[in-house]
Amino acid sequence: QVQLVESGGGSVQAGGSLALSCAASGYPSSTYCMGWFRQRPGKEREGVAAIYTGRGSTYYADSVKGRFTIVKDNAKNTLYLQMNSLKPEDTAMYYCAVRGGCDYRNYNRLDEYPFLGQGTQVTVSS
């Protein structure tokens, strides 16, 4: 059974930083794609970043490039999202998700991720 458990959300002022974690277990493959999605108030869920363990490739939404960094710790089987220079518009529920493979064309297609965590809230105040 695949389990994804996010943590690390919280409240921070604009310009601050937060690091999200996603502990993963049960995925039946040694190579896979893990991604972070978010749902901002009144908006649909959107892809933020993803990493494909097969190549070590990373993908980012334009809105977070240069501010967010996605990292996978294989020893701990944990996915991280380091978020710097946070803005009020980054306020959202953040979810991690896993699928078999991904590339720059499909890393942000949530409907292609069969497994999704419960989410962790990030609130950025101005």
Predicted confidence at residue 98, as pLDDT, reads 96
pLDDT in tens, 55-76: 889 999 999 999 999 999 988 9
**Per-residue pLDDT at 10 exceeds 90:** yes
Using a 10 angstrom Cβ sphere, with 0-12 exposed, 13-18 middle and 19 or more buried, the burial of residue 123 is middle
